[in-house]
Amino acid sequence: MKIVVGTTALMMSMARAALDCHSLMQEDTCLAASCAWCKSAAVKSSCYDAAEAALLPPAIFQCATPPANHGCHFYNTKESCIASKEGDEPCYWCRSAAVKSTCYNETEAKRLPPAVFQCDKKSIVYAHGLTDLAAFIEPTPVVHAEAHSTSVADSPEPVQGDRPVDSLVQALASEPANHGCHFYNTEDACLKSKEGGAPCYWCKSAAVASTCYNETEAKQLPPAIFQCDKGPSLWQLTAVPATELGFRTLFQQWKVAFDVIYDSVATETTRFQAFVANAQLVAAHNRQVWRSYSLALNVFADTTWAEFQADYLGATPQNCSATHRSTVTAVGDVPDAIDWRRVDAVSPVKNQGKCGSCWTFSTTGCLESHNLLTHGKRVLLSEQNLVDCAQAFDNHGCNGGLPSHAFEYIKYNGGLDTGAAYPYHAKDETCKYDPANIGVTVVDVVNITSRDETQLRTAVGTVGPVSIAFQVSNDFRFYKDGVYDSTECKSGEADVNHAVLAVGYNTTVDGAKYWIVKNSWSDKWGIEGYFHIAQGKNMCGLADCASYPIV
């Protein structure tokens, strides 16, 4: 557990250090603080942490960095020390009860007796690809000037030979030409516009003012720093066709978009009926003025609710009682917002397919994060190992289970195989566990007190991602974006039917708090495989069965 505490505390410290760069508004003070000053035609020049600057696409940003290397002894704070290098080697911040904490170079740090000195360096966290700590905690936004756009206010005073300002305004109002995405300086105008037939994207960042980018630029921006949105898709219906022919046309478009082919006319007729009902459900919801989330037709659009429950949620009721209760102790201060994806500590979204094995994906996702945060090991783990082998711990393969029970199985089994050695087949098979292929072991399991979202927030905010279970209701399968806040789902240990992974939390611009949750229905579902769900009301029982492993 000491390793978890040390690593997480170091990451939090580095995050706050990086945020200091964002507060510097002048190039000279930015470079003097060993930060990078980055310029772009699209946004206001800003100060970035070096790790952020390395991620910015050079086609859009031009970054200057401080030329001088002062040497490790120059730095007198832990944050500046472990963010710096001497030559090509990292600096170490070394603490001792005997002398004042000091910044040393690598050669010096390795000579210090470990019984007397405890030394930290940046590469302890970053050696395995963890980057972008500046976006680790959502800061209070730094107020910048609006991004540059073509307007009267931005235009210089007319001089001899210039077009008069009023002529320029008239020309802009009358010209039918596409101004380009950079022209639009509000989210609404941006998302309604295109450049060369491609949609514009509204990209937000804690470091710079929100700006409108074209599609090429938006795809080049690092997702760890920028969150980019585009206008609603064709499948976020607000109305349905008035005729059967219109529905048939929409159905054909959906089949092409999602690559669906049926083996008979009878099957297609049945699927069409389900499609109509689901399209009506989606459109009716999206017409609600005060909705907090949107729905969209997706790969599940030709499936009835009963079929979906049987294929994806499992048929066996789960006993959500914890193996043992533990009080979660905060590892440092609990941040106002956190997203473990922004330090590359969350594995890719996977797809469980037609098997009620969500509990295995929640389990492996949680273990993959904690194995990385604790030991620096980036290993994808085997869901099929759990499907086939964990029945003795009250799990039921494709018919359901719970992450807390899966953690217990792994603890007593002595480990879990890697995904490469034991691949996923989305069906129940015989157990083929091989101790030679272990990818992780579990020392203990922490079960968070049922319905206690404060403990859950403490765990997610200071320890790492947490496995949770909740009740999926009919409309959730079509979730597209926004904060899911339902009156249809229930809370209670006996009602949970789906396990997922809480990887962070945040607050909307309107002040609504929400959890950031990783699902296992592919990255084509929801917000690239994730969803946001209301925090503070145990929505759908999400805090009823929360747990995480100690690895």
**Catalytic residue annotation:** 358, 498, 519
Phi, psi (deg, nearest 5) at residue 297: -65, 140
* Pairing mode, strands 198-199 and 211-213: unpaired
Token code pair at residue 376: 């620096």
Q: Which DSSP string corresponds to 241-258?
A: -SSHHHHHHHHHHHHHHT
483 has which bridge partners?
A: 532
| Partners of 295 in the β-ladder | 479
Dist CA 389 CA 25 (whole Å): 57
Q: Token digits for 18?
A: 């990086």
Q: Pseudo-torsion of CA 285, 287, 292, 296, nearest 10°?
A: 60
| Of the candidates 312, 309, 242, the residue with the CA atom closest to the CA atom of residue 279 | 242
3-state secondary structure 324-361: CECCCCCCCCCCCCEEHHHHCCCCCCCECCCCECHHHH
For residue 25, give Cα distances in angstroms to 144, 162, 224, 386: 9, 32, 22, 52
Q: How far apart are CA 221 and CA 12, in angstroms?
A: 24
Tokens read off for 101? 């904490």
Number of neighbouring beta carbons within 10 Å of residue 300: 19
Largest CA distance in the chain: 86
Closest C-alpha to 77, from 96, 54, 100, 111 = 100
Round to whole Å and give the CA distance between 292 and 286: 10
- Contact call for residues 453 and 474 (beta carbons, < 8 A): no
**C-beta of residue 546 within 8 angstroms of C-beta of residue 448:** yes
* Dihedral angle of Cα 45, 51, 54, 57, to the nearest 10 degrees: -60
Q: How far apart are CA 510 and CA 443, in angstroms?
A: 41
Query: How many CA atoms within 13 Å lie on the side-chain side of 150?
Result: 13
Q: Which of 316, 298, 395, 300 is nearest to 354 (CA)?
A: 300
Tell me the CB-side half-sphere exposure of residue 439, using CA atoms within 13 A.
25
Residues 6+ apart with CB under 8 A from 289: none
| DSSP collapsed to 3 states, 187-218 | HHHHHCCEECCEECEEEECCCCCCEEECHHHH
